Structure 1
Amino acid sequence: MSKPRIPEIERLRGMAFLAVVLQHSIAHYSVAPGMTANDGLMMGFLLMATKFAVPVFIFITGMVLFYNDKGRLHYGRFIKRRFGDIYVPFAVWTLITLLINHKFNPAVIGDWKYLGEVWLTGKASSHFWYIIMLFQFYLLYPLFRSAILGIKERFGVRTQLTILVLSGLLYVGLTGVINDIGHWMGSLSIPVWSELFTTYADRNALYYFFYFVLGAAAGLYHASWIKWLEKVRPAIWLVFAFTFGWMLMQGVNEIRSAENGAITFYSLSLLRPMMALFLISSIMVMYDAAGWITRQAGARTNAFLTSIGVYSYGAYLMHLLTLRISYAVDEYLLIGMPSLVRIVSSWIISVAVAYAATRLLARLPFGKWLVGIAGARNHRPIRPYGKSHPSAGTTTGM
């Protein structure tokens, strides 16, 4: 029998997608002509407020996989399904992106080699790295599953919680030695492996593992997870607020000390110890917020976030292209407006176009291969990557 859906996951997925698009809108305007240090401070605040997106997506993946686990894993079927729902749309939009950017000519043999490389690395666009990183969790799912379920079977709840906390501390510590690991692996010059820890370290699933593990724990003990969040709500919000302020000050100092008034956010990268602590707390805070929205917000708000979440994968794949449309609107109509108005307008336009396009493409008979959603007009959309089974109560989606 299928488990009931987790309604707050539906809202959380939509929230995370909206945050991703806003991040990329900020990135564009941070290098736009005429931006000042004060604009940079505003952007830094918005950027910190949206940093939760990637960790939340990984958390959702782990949570739903383990929540829906039925005790048996048919790995071949598991990977085949995710290859079709996740990798094929990614490959299609990689090709589309290259064609639009005039970086692929079918008549040139070398371009086919380049296409193969970016299909493996996600280098065709700045947001495709995430797909390559996330897919590693599916490839390695049997190992994660064996380890996590093995701990669940062998130890009591308190010991499991201790192991989870220690894993979190290990992860925070790991983010502090990534450069050292990269130097060491680079010196070994092992094909593929050395590059995974150097050139492509930002998409190495090892460096994001705890978000998946935390999601697995929440999925295995969903009722306990909800009760625990309620119990420690003041503490997690306090940690979130403190680390938010701490990291924001790092960003402020970076902007103020930058040469030639450049606006950069290198100090706010994902793979830093204090940022890792902030992101762990942000997962809990955003899940708590999604629960509040589920219970207290109106039906329209819940329906909106849920619908955004349903179509988030296809919208994610194309949103950097739809951002270009928003930039054209900005240059034609909004060039003299305050930076906040321009950023928010770009964000709204990009989300609206990507969402609408995904809904339209999903209706096509082959829509699944474009946006990861089975597309008959009257068929209920299936969330992209990470679903356990069509009848499962909850799916991971974007």
Structure 2
Amino acid sequence: MARKETIPELNLVRGISILAVLMVHATSASMASMKESSLYGAYVFLNTFSLFCVPAFIFLTGFVLFYNYYDKPLTISTVKQFFGKRLMSIVIPYLFISIAYFVLKYFLYYRSLSAPELLDMLGGYLLYGKAYTHLYYVFIIIQFYILFPLLLFLFQRAVWLARLAIPIGFAVQWSFYYLLKQGVLTVPSKGSVSLTYFSPFLIGAFFGMYYPRLKRWLATGPEFRFRGKAAATGAFVLVWLVCASCFVTMWVVTRTGQGKFESYWYEIGYNAFTVLTSIMLLKLSYWIWAKGASAVKNALTDLSSLSFGIYLVHPALLLFYREFPPQTGTSWLHHLWMAGGYALALGGSLIILLAAYRLTKHAWILFGKVPDKFTAPRGKKPEVTTAA
């Protein structure tokens, strides 16, 4: 089987998405503490606009999985190899990092609990991705990995289903939401269930399966021109701008106390904004790769390779950082403190990860697959891959 082309643009989307994750978490404290500030609207904008991050990662997961496997025979050997890789790169780090955060929370909050109570609590946390607030995402990805062979089997056997992947994704996600809304289904945590993010996953799957055709619209350059491309791109950008503006405005109105909307509007707005932004970022990444400065491309590619570790590490840094807020009413100092949280989340995570990757070969147990570039001898240039 011919080797598939690598898609370096995906690394740019992943790099941008991890920066958005840091923005969401770094500005989350401002949603309550900065309400009296004249710049509160700006904080709401930064926090709300960055919410595309998790669906974008899920979109990329669907893209990469189906791009790599859709045209391969689905055999027992392939399935074993697939789950073996994910066990080492995702499941084991999920378990160990969850335990690490649980131990941290024990020393901060749970020291009065008995051993049976702690074990029961830990079991519940592991079962729903709740050992710390951000680990639900890793738990969701594990669920998609479990579902993937079944979805791949269905899409390979019935091409018409593959062609309908996008509407199927929306139908499954919104059916799940409706059943929850009506009380037919009850789950302890809706955000920890993969069905909540089924549309971005299957949109990514569709892009992965039909990438050679869709690349004509995504890529830039004379060889990718076709009649109506500019109009189609312009229409998509316009729809995205309208959707993004409505979603951000809705949350600005809500956060500033000017009004509230029915709960389903927040759900609709979030779903539409995040899936459109994921596609928009993919389109933008092709322009950056073709026209952008090498320094920008290299930085985003490096962030991409470190993104999983950054995602796992940075909340611990923010937890300790927020124990030392400014003790003065000076507004500019509070803004500077907020910016410092973002800088610490990014810079501190990078320092921890790079040190761990250099000092021990067992860093993968906590942080997942170690990027080749950061453990290879100097001068060895890493290969850009599309591996999930």
Kept after mapping to 2: 8 A contact 1:23/1:47: yes
Residue identity matched to 1:98: F
In structure 1, distance between residues paired with 2:335 and 2:233:
31
1:7 aligns with 2:12: no
Alpha-carbon distance change, 268 to 83 in structure 1, aligned in 2, over 3 angstroms: farther
Residue 299 of structure 2 is matched in structure 1 by 304
**Cα distance change, pair 279–67 in 1 and its aligned pair in 2 (3 A):** same
CA distance in 2, matches of 1:281, 1:62: 15
Task: Decide whether aligned partners of structure 1 residues 168 and 93 sit closer, same or farther in structure 2, where only a CA change above 3 A counts.
Answer: closer
- SS of the aligned residue for 2:4 comes to coil
Query: What displacement does 1:108 show?
Result: 1.9
Structure 1 pair 141/172, CA: closer, same or farther in 2 (3 Å)?
A: closer
Q: Which amino acid aligns with 1:254?
A: T
Partner residue in 2 for 1:220: 209
Of 353, 356, 365, the residue aligned with 1:358 is: 353
Q: 1:112 to 1:97 in 2, by over 3 A?
A: same
**Aligned amino acid, residue 61 of structure 1:** T
| Aligned residue runs from structure 1 range 152-167, under 5 A | 152=159, 155=160, 161=163, 163-167=164-168
The gaps in structure 2 that reach 5 residues or longer are 220-228
Structure-1 separation of matches of 2:322 and 2:329: 9
Amino acid at match of 1:394: T
- For residues 320-377 of structure 1, the C-alpha deviation after alignment (integer angstroms, 9 at most, x for no partner) is 1122354467538996426554433311221111122112212311111121124786
- Aligned residue number for residue 376 of structure 2: 379
The alpha carbon displacement at 1:151 in A equals 3.1
Equivalent in the alignment of 2:119? 112
Unmatched tracts of structure 1, length 5 or more: 187-197, 260-264, 381-389
Amino acid at match of 1:248: V
Alpha-carbon distance between aligned partners in 2 of 1:5 and 1:342, rounded to the nearest angstrom = 40
Please state if 1:273 is matched with 2:268.
Answer: yes
Instruction: Flag the 1:333–1:355 CA change in 2: closer, same or farther, 3 A.
Output: farther
Report if the CA contact (8 A) 2:166-2:202 is conserved. Answer: no
Distance 2:384 2:9 in 1: 16
Render the CA deviation track for 1:83-136: whole Å, top value 9, x for unaligned. 221122122222222222225669823312222221121212111111111110
- Measured against aligned partners, the alpha-carbon deviations of 1:49-106 in whole angstroms (never above 9, x if no partner) come to 2121111101111111111113234323322321221122122222222222225669
The alignment partner of 1:272 has SS state of helix
- Find out whether 1:315 has 2:310 as its counterpart: yes
- Is 2:243–2:272's contact at 8 Å kept on the other side of the alignment? yes
Letter paired with 1:358 = L
Query: Matches of residues 232-247 of structure 1 in structure 2 within 5 Å?
Result: 232-247=232-247
1:1-398 to structure 2, matched below 5 A, reads 1-32=2-33, 34-36=34-36, 38-69=38-69, 70-73=72-75, 74-101=78-105, 102=107, 108-152=115-159, 155=160, 161=163, 163-167=164-168, 169-170=170-171, 173-174=174-175, 177=178, 179-181=180-182, 183-186=183-186, 198-229=187-218, 231=229, 232-257=232-257, 272-327=267-322, 331=326, 336-337=331-332, 340-363=335-358, 364-374=360-370, 378-379=375-376, 393-396=385-388
Q: Measured at CA, do residues 13 and 257 of structure 1 come closer, stay the same or move farther in structure 2, by a change above 3 Å? A: same
Q: Distance in 1 between matches of 2:371 and 2:244?
A: 40
- AA matched with 1:80: G
Cα 1:98–1:164 shift into 2, 3 Å: closer
Which amino acid counterpart does residue 46 of structure 2 have in structure 1?
A: L
Residues 171 and 272 of structure 1, relative CA distance in 2, 3 Å threshold: farther
Partner-residue secondary structure (3-state), 2:158: helix
TM-score (norm: length of structure 1): 0.81
CA distance in structure 1 between the aligned counterparts of 2:263 and 2:342, rounded to whole angstroms: 21
Q: Any idea what SS the aligned residue of 1:72 has?
A: coil
- Decide whether the 8 Å contact of 2:162 with 2:206 is kept in 1: no
Alpha-carbon displacement from aligned partner over 1:15-58 (angstroms, at most 9, x marks no partner):
111101110111112122x5326433212211232121111101
Any conservation in 2 of the 1:14–1:309 contact (CA below 8 Å)?
A: yes
Aligned positions, number: 363
| AA matched with 2:100 | I
- Whole-Å Cα distance in 2 between the matches of residues 65 and 81 of structure 1? 13
What's the CA shift for 1:2? 3.0
Q: Shift in Å at residue 392 of structure 1?
A: 9.7
TM-score, normalising length: structure 2 = 0.83
* RMSD of aligned alpha carbons: 3.2
Q: 1:136 to 1:160 in 2, by over 3 A?
A: closer
Counterparts of 1:361 and 1:211, CA distance in 2:
33
Q: 2: distance between equivalents of 1:306 and 1:332?
A: 39
